[in-house]
Chain A
Amino acid sequence: MTAKDLSSSSLPRRQWRGEDFVNIIAYIILTLWALLALFPIYWMLKNSFEPNQLLNVWPPRILPNWERLSLDNYSALLARFPLPLWFFNSLLVALVRTIGAVFFGSLAGYTFAKLYFFGREVIFWTLMAVLMLPGFILIIPQYQIIRALDWYNTYWALLVPGITGGVWAMFLMRQFMRSLPTELIESARIDGAGEFAIFARVIAPLAAPGMAVLAIFQFIGNWNSFIWPLVVTSTKEMRTLPVGLGLLSSPKDTGQVTPIGEVMAGATIAALPMIIVFLFFQRYFLRGITIGAIKG
């Protein structure tokens, strides 16, 4: 890693020495775009802590009004909507589905990468054929099957369909498992270990970095998922954070206009946990995201 760092940082800098102005323009563009990307998040945070009388005014203040910052928007929103319940629903959906994807995805990925069985290639490529299938087009029959199973507006509907992480999770783990040494599996087998024990005790610990990447992306994806919980739930109590808060934008659903400070407070409650997860596991995002695509 260090050798790579040296070559990518110090060497090219010497090449660019004669073109300092190109460098300056590059940094200006990079920084302006960074401000543009981060501004909405800053604006959400800042507006969530300021009273509504300060928000619906012209001209708006760009910097926070430090003396007037408070948690009033948060308490007002909490009094109006079952936010702790939405938070719990989001967390439950994200956790259960992430655990499901990591467990079933790793197990299937390991099987396709390392075990031999009749029909392996046929089954694998049948699964891969739908990897690019646009999920939206299946929403209508999926809604119908949830109705038919009598799962509408229940946790079953939120948790079960796609709990194995689907083909994507399997493929990601298969790519990761392929690089693990097969000799370890063989020697564990000679030592008399059962097939599941080999997966759980020998393979799983070695595949932990791959599982971490899968877990982080699954957790964020499921926390943020919108259309599925929107379609299969109907009561306030069953909503997840993005769906419950999304309805704040249209008074026809809530029967009242929610003041903008409270909307921003709700947005912060939904967004902040993911921003924290991102900052914590930054490294996995900036490297892990490309595993599936590049090794492909």
Chain B
Amino acid sequence: MAQSKTPYSMAADVQQVRSRREPPTPLGRIRDEIRRSNKWAYLFITPLLLDFLIFTVYMVISVVALAFQEIYYGQSEWVGLRHFEWIFKDPQFWNAMKNTLIYTIIVVPGGILLALILSEFIFRRSQRVQVFYKSAYYLPSVVSTAILALVWSWIYNPFYGILNFFLSIFGVEPVSWLTNPKNAMLSIILMSIISGVGVSVVFLTAAMGGIPPELHDAAKIDGAGNWARFWSVTVPLLRPTLLYLFVVGFISNFQVFEQIYIMTQGGPGYPGATETVGYLIYSSAFTSLNLGLAAAQSVVLFFAILVFSVIQFRVFASEVEY
């Protein structure tokens, strides 16, 4: 019967039991809690814990350990900080970090701003109109990025591509989208924004539905126009959703890989105009076959993402105090 106790009644019971007969030592309390635990619970979480311990926890330890090793065909040797020293002097790595930053800083805030505007326009429409537009924006997100990248490569084709055709209507000369180092990153950014906005729109319209209409009515009585209401009522109330979209967006876009792999292979030029840290890690490991260096680059990427996440939490948290 003890198993059926909810945590709340449990806590009360533990209190009672302790005051009556159990010695008030931490060990006694732990023993008591173990006795009252539902033993099946441990069995039920075992598969998840095994998966987690082997393929996440152990992997985190391994990637750090690998970063200090040199791996040759199964043989490994400890080399201390050699990989990190190399990374910090390596212009290719800094170029990749710069490209990744440019990509992320345009794709994430740009995409969220666009999604915010589209959501504001969609939000007050009838249910059917909302579903139509949200579905249209969301549709590219269910297609594999690799597949979208194949289609976009064809759209960007400099000789027969449809994009250059549309531009030629306005008298623009053919543009080398992916083969010119000046345009390549821009082309990949454009594709990523167009394909990714739908997910943010779904989140933002859902959050807008949770804003009490009275707040908008009150602002209207105070004489606020649509624009003023959008910036001073809607946007501040969306802060938790915006924080979520920013943090998750930064984490996933910092790892950008598929578009680069399919569309440019990190090129054109050297150091590659679209080579991102994710792509560099892949080529260090599977083209140069230097797993130790790739692991060290992964560790640096992790810290870059961590720093960015902390900054975002700080920015969003500081705005709360006004």
Chain A residues at the B interface, C-beta cutoff of 8 Å: 5, 7-9, 12-13, 16, 19, 22, 26-27, 29-30, 33-34, 36-38, 40-41, 43-44, 47, 55-60, 62, 104-105, 107-108, 110-112, 115-118, 120, 123, 127, 130, 132-145, 161-164, 166-167, 170, 182, 185-186, 189-190, 195-196, 199, 220, 223-224, 226-227, 230-231, 241-243, 245-246, 248-250, 260, 263-264, 266-267, 270-271, 274-275, 277-279, 282, 285-287, 289-290, 293-294
In the complex, which residue of chain A has the Cβ closest to the Cβ of B71? A144
Which residues of A have CB within 8 Å of B258? Answer: 226-227, 246
> Could you tell me if B6 and A41 are in contact, using CB atoms closer than 8 angstroms?
no
> Could you tell me if B10 and A40 are in contact, using CB atoms closer than 8 angstroms?
no
Complex formed: what's the CA distance from A289 to B254 in Å?
Answer: 22
> Could you tell me if B139 and A118 are in contact, using CB atoms closer than 8 angstroms?
no
Chain B residues at the A interface, C-beta cutoff of 8 Å: 3-7, 10, 30, 33-34, 36-42, 44-45, 47-49, 51-52, 54-60, 62-63, 66, 114, 117-118, 121-127, 131-140, 142-155, 157, 159-162, 165, 168, 194-195, 197-199, 202-203, 206-207, 209-210, 213, 226, 241, 244, 247-248, 251-252, 254-255, 257-258, 261-263, 265, 278, 281-282, 285-286, 291, 294-295, 298-299, 301-302, 305, 309
Which residues of B have CB within 8 Å of A30? Answer: 118, 121-122, 133
Known: A37-B194, A245-B150. 12 other contacts (CB 8 A): A30-B118, A37-B137, A116-B36, A135-B255, A138-B63, A139-B285, A140-B298, A145-B58, A227-B282, A248-B150, A249-B150, A267-B150
Q: Give 10 pairs: A residue, B residue, CB < 8 Å, sorted on A.
A: A30-B122, A33-B114, A40-B140, A107-B47, A164-B52, A166-B52, A246-B146, A249-B263, A264-B154, A289-B199
In the complex, which residue of chain A has the Cβ closest to the Cβ of B213? A7
Complex formed: what's the CA distance from A60 to B165 in Å?
Answer: 7
> Could you tell me if B152 and A277 are in contact, using CB atoms closer than 8 angstroms?
no
B259 to chain A, nearest CB (A): 10
Given contacts A37-B140, A164-B47, A170-B48, contact A136 B63 (CB under 8 A): no
Complex formed: what's the CA distance from A135 to B257 in Å?
Answer: 12
Choose among B41, B202, B295 the residue that contacts A289 (Cβ–Cβ < 8 A): B202
| Residue in B140, B155, B248, B285 whose Cβ sees the most chain A Cβ within 10 Å | B140
Choose among A161, A162, A287 the residue that contacts B206 (Cβ–Cβ < 8 A): A287
In the complex, which residue of chain A has the Cβ closest to the Cβ of B121? A26
Choose among A43, A59, A190, A289 the residue that contacts B151 (Cβ–Cβ < 8 A): A43
> Could you tell me if A264 and B138 are in contact, using CB atoms closer than 8 angstroms?
no
Which residues of A have CB within 8 Å of B3? Answer: 116, 189
Which residues of B have CB within 8 Å of A7? Answer: 213
Choose among A34, A190, A226 the residue that contacts B136 (Cβ–Cβ < 8 A): A34
B128 to chain A, nearest CB (A): 9
Which residues of A have CB within 8 Å of B4? Answer: 185-186, 189-190
In the complex, which residue of chain A has the Cβ closest to the Cβ of B209? A8
Complex formed: what's the CA distance from A132 to B250 in Å?
Answer: 11
> Could you tell me if B6 and A275 are in contact, using CB atoms closer than 8 angstroms?
no
> Could you tell me if A242 and B144 are in contact, using CB atoms closer than 8 angstroms?
yes
Which residues of A have CB within 8 Å of B226? Answer: 19, 22
> Could you tell me if B150 and A246 are in contact, using CB atoms closer than 8 angstroms?
yes
B202 to chain A, nearest CB (A): 5
Given contacts A38-B139, A164-B47, contact A141 B295 (CB under 8 A): yes
Complex formed: what's the CA distance from A267 to B148 in Å?
Answer: 8
A14 to chain B, nearest CB (A): 11
Which residues of A have CB within 8 Å of B127? Answer: 5, 8-9
Which residues of B have CB within 8 Å of A166? Answer: 48, 51-52, 56
Complex formed: what's the CA distance from A16 to B42 in Å?
Answer: 57
> Could you tell me if A140 and B294 are in contact, using CB atoms closer than 8 angstroms?
yes
Complex formed: what's the CA distance from A223 to B162 in Å?
Answer: 28
> Could you tell me if B45 and A123 are in contact, using CB atoms closer than 8 angstroms?
yes
A138 to chain B, nearest CB (A): 4
> Could you tell me if B162 and A62 are in contact, using CB atoms closer than 8 angstroms?
yes
